[in-house]
């Protein structure tokens, strides 16, 4: 009888442990599956300004690791990626280098207006080679004889359009134009011209001065706020995302890059404070 009771107690105990183990295991599985890798097997296509490449690459890696999604990205001048959006509907998330292009997309019905949000400020500065051999200290100095200036194409990257507006604002556009040796299709090429000494001055985005290509090779001349035109970088989900069934992963990615301000700060950007 004692042995029978002992076996009965052991059986009850083992059964209890097995049930508890199943419950514990079930809870553990549920916890891991909610909010983790929720977009496995899904793809989101991003069109981004070329000058945002450093933080965007880091953010893309983080998003893929956390959600399981695959991010395809097209980098280019803001007008170039706007063209992709306009002609092929080839973007789920649109992140140009300046608000102007998001505004144009909104006016044409290319983006979902309720998803638009500013991410960071984009601040133009004058970049010169290390040592500042031509003694550039202001916008006016860009018009001095013998100064080789490179600017972004006003019809290409956002910095090109902004540079023209800044110079026009200060009555210098026509005076500086004769010194411009080339207009580049991307902002990244401006940095290369200055870092290699092929030009004496360029107007670029402040955040680019933190890039490895710039360290020890360039110096920065700030443009006074009253002379400058400071822009914001927005993100938005496009109507294409709805058409191709990527709407949820696109919204998640857009929110992700807007919320991770520490990554933008790491790469020299100043997060937008609205």
Digit-coded pLDDT (tens) for 184-213: 999 899 999 999 999 999 999 999 988 888
Q: Residue 19: pLDDT above 80?
A: no
Tell me: the pLDDT tens digits for 236-273? 999 999 998 999 999 999 999 999 999 999 999 999 98
Q: What is the C-alpha to C-alpha distance for residues 208 and 197, in angstroms, rounded to an integer?
A: 17
Q: What is the C-alpha to C-alpha distance for residues 105 and 94, in angstroms, rounded to an integer?
A: 9
pLDDT at 211: 86
The model carries a pTM of 0.76
Task: Give one DSSP letter per residue of 46-112, joined into a string.
Answer: EEEEGGGHHHHHHHHHHHHHHH--EEEEEEE-HHHHHHHHHHH---SEEE-SSHHHHHHHHHTT-B-
pLDDT at 224: 98
Q: Residue 93: pLDDT above 90?
A: yes
Mean pLDDT for the stretch of residues 136-157: 97
Helix (H), strand (E) at residue 173: helix 173-176
Q: What is the C-alpha to C-alpha distance for residues 228 and 85, in angstroms, rounded to an integer?
A: 29
Dihedral sign of CA atoms 93, 97, 98, 104 in order: negative
Looking at domain 124-222, its CATH architecture is: 3-Layer(aba) Sandwich (3.40)
The percentage of residues in the chain with a pLDDT greater than 70, rounded to a whole number, is 87
Per the DSSP assignment, residues forming a β-bridge with 215 are: none
Domain with CATH 3.40.190.10 in the chain: 43-121+232-271, 124-222
Q: Residue 122: pLDDT above 50?
A: yes
> What's the CATH class of domain 43-121+232-271?
alpha beta
pLDDT at 123: 95
Q: What is the mean pLDDT of the chain?
A: 88
């Amino acid at each position: 009888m004692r042995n029978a009771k002992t076996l009965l107690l052991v059986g009850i105990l083992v059964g209890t442990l097995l049930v508890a183990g199943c419950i514990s295991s079930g809870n553990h599985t549920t916890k891991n599956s909610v909010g983790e890798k929720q977009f496995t097997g899904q793809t989101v296509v991003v069109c981004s300004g070329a000058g945002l490449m450093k933080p965007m690459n880091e953010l893309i890696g983080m998003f893929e690791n956390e959600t399981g999604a695959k991010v395809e990205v097209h980098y280019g001048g803001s007008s170039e990626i706007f063209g992709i959006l306009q002609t092929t509907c080839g973007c789920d998330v649109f992140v140009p280098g300046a608000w102007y292009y998001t505004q144009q997309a909104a006016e044409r019905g290319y983006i979902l207006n309720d998803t638009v949000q500013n991410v960071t400020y984009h601040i133009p500065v004058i970049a010169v080679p290390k040592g500042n051999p031509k003694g550039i200290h202001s916008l006016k100095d860009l018009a001095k004889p013998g100064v080789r200036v490179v600017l972004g194409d006003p019809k290409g990257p956002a910095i090109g359009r902004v540079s023209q507006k800044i110079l026009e604002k200060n009555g210098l556009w026509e005076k500086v134009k004769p010194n411009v040796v080339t207009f580049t299709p991307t902002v990244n090429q401006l940095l290369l011209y200055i870092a290699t000494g092929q030009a004496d001055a360029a107007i670029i985005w402040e955040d680019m001065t933190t890039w490895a290509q710039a360290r020890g090779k360039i110096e920065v001349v700030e443009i006074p706020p009253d002379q400058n035109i400071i822009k914001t970088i927005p993100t938005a989900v496009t109507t294409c995302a709805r058409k191709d069934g990527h709407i949820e992963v696109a919204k998640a990615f857009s929110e992700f890059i807007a919320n991770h301000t520490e990554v933008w700060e790491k790469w020299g950007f100043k997060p937008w404070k609205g």
